[in-house]
Amino acid sequence: MEIKVYKDYQAMSEAAAEMIKNEMKQDNHIVLGLATGSTPIGLYQKLAESCAAGEISFQHASSYNLDEYVGIPMDHPESYHTFMNENFFKHVDFPKGATHVPWTDGVNPEVDCRAYDEAVQKAGGIDIQVLGIGGNGHIAFNEPDESFTEETHIAYLDERTIQDNSRFFDSMEQVPKSAITVGMGVIMKARRVIILANGANKADAVYKMVHGQIKPQVPASILRLHPNVTLLLDEDAARKLKK
Ligand code: PGA
């Protein structure tokens, strides 16, 4: 795992955007794995600016998101479909149908999970996977557990995740308690992984991911077994790391 520390969120986001732009210049048919959350918003803004300036284009690219809540409508203001449209897709030039966010209405979740894995596989897998990390060490909605899950699945949100995500809802009760999420298979088979973390509230999770045991109780720790991971941090998220 390559670790890079930047002075602040802005610098971290710019560096992540440069990495993705460079990959896109080499392969404009790139398959991007995308994440939601506060962390990648700066990265998406930078990519949108580059697209508007004509430096990159998404016309031949496609994208697959990590996860989506179960139990709220697709057009809910806090759905990840809405998040991606508002923060990224509507600002860049993906062709219609090229962006994918997992979805289940909860009636046949197993069918929806299998279909998502098959779609990613049919696309040839992910070229670059963008990730954030949860305060509890989760990646996507792979929450701390007794074992790692390989396939796309329905996950029940951890107490800490519900609490962290309640900032987007009027109350804790309104936070969905389950989600459809890719498993470790899609993430670990990505050709390159870029994981971002900023802020002091991520310092413990980052420490455990980098220095702790590789175990499903710290889901992000599995990334140490991936051959091509870059961890981008701001100084606050990096402050507990050993020199
Ligand atoms: P955040 O979430 O970017 O909103 O901090 C990251 C995550 O939970 O994976």
Q: Token digits for 154?
A: 């329905």
Residue 11 has pLDDT above 90, yes or no: yes
102 Cβ inside 6 Å of ligand 1: no
137: Cβ–Cβ under 8 A, 6 or more apart, which residues? Answer: 144, 205, 208, 209, 217, 218, 219, 220, 221
- Is residue 137 in contact with ligand 1, taking CB distance under 6 Å? no
- Residue 243: its pLDDT value, please? 79
Digit-coded pLDDT (tens) for 180-210: 999 999 999 999 999 999 999 999 999 999 9
Catalytic residue among 65, 87, 136, 165: 136
Kindly report, residue by residue over 41-57, the tens digit of the pLDDT.
999 999 999 999 999 99
164 confidence band (pLDDT: 50, 70, 90)? very high
With a pLDDT cut of 70, the percent of the chain lying above it is 100
Type of residue numbered 33: G
Tens of pLDDT, residues 200-236: 999 999 999 999 999 999 999 999 999 999 999 999 9
